[in-house]
Amino acid sequence: MRIGFIGLGNMGAPMARNLIAAGHDVMGYDTVARPEDIPLADSAADAAKDAAIVITMLPDGKILRAVADDIHPAMVEGATHLDCSTVDVDSARTVADGAGARGLLSLDAPVSGGIGGAQAGTLTFMVGGTEAAYAAAAPLFDVMGQKAVYCGASGNGQAAKICNNMILGATMIATCEAFGLADKLGLDRQAMFDVVSTSSGYSWSLNAYCPAPGIGPQSPADNDYKPGFAAELMLKDLRLSQMAAEAVDADTPMGQRAMELYAQFVEDEGGKGRDFSAMLPRFSAKGRS
């Protein structure tokens, strides 16, 4: 399959490499990254030309809209625009409407699994769009990931992603708070993990991604909190969740507070460039205010 791939950063490049390894004809483009092992076009429109599917992996909705305006006129009628960025729901739906007006199929398919999942081809895709578009892209989900969930109409993939990450942000904060409290109560971290990981406090944040170094499976905490999922990306997703909540008048106080705490951590407390689980040393260093 001829595939255009626009956005070859930390996530996009390994996804494109997996497609190449599976035998697909990939033409990439990025305004900054120039990986030597991926064939590169001179522009986004050139990468999209003659492609059956064009994949985008971009930083935000504003850039996605601009790139869509650039590539859609160059795409062959009936081709599919598969956007794997994490953006606001309105941008996803606007791009889908623009694609449909030009006779193109489109999907919003943000991912979960981070850089490691992109490299290993074990991402999970949350997919919104038509069933026909989903069927066209399904073989690529099998190459780049281990699971794809069809969530319904355009924008629903983004909705699923931001709801998932709102839960993740809040539960990571709760997990880090609990370790901080355990420390001050004199409870050994390993003992806490052994109890909570098999009790009602069980969560992905604790059991699979424990923020305490040397406890549980290997995680960024064991690598000085070098990011698997950076705190600033969690902040981005939490802001998207609150933007969506405001748009539909949803009451999300825990999501709102998680956003505020990550904003404080990233913008005022040196959290930028650290893993989102680095909230643990942040809480450990603070007293009750």
Count of beta carbons in the 10 Å neighbourhood of residue 95:
26
CB count within 10 Å of CB 77 equals 7
Q: Within 72-113, where are the H helices?
A: 89-101
272 noted as active-site residue: no
Quote the Cα angle for 245-247-248, to 5°. 70
* Distance in angstroms (rounded) separating the CA atoms of residues 45 and 233: 28
Identify whether the C-beta of residue 7 lies closer than 8 Å to the C-beta of residue 118: no
Q: What is the CA radius of gyration of the chain?
A: 20
Of the listed 62, 147, 161, 184, which one is catalytic? Answer: 161
Please give the structure tokens belonging to residue 104: 């193109």
Alpha carbon distance 140, 135 (integer Å): 10
Q: Which two tokens stand for residue 270?
A: 């040196």
Helix (H) or strand (E) holding 165: helix 156-185
Residue 285 forms beta bridges with which residues?
none
36 burial class (0-12, 13-18, 19+ CB within 10 angstroms)? exposed
- Are 5 and 55 in contact, with CB atoms under 8 Å apart? yes
Torsion sign, CA atoms 254, 239, 84, 130 = positive
Known catalytic residues?
Answer: 161
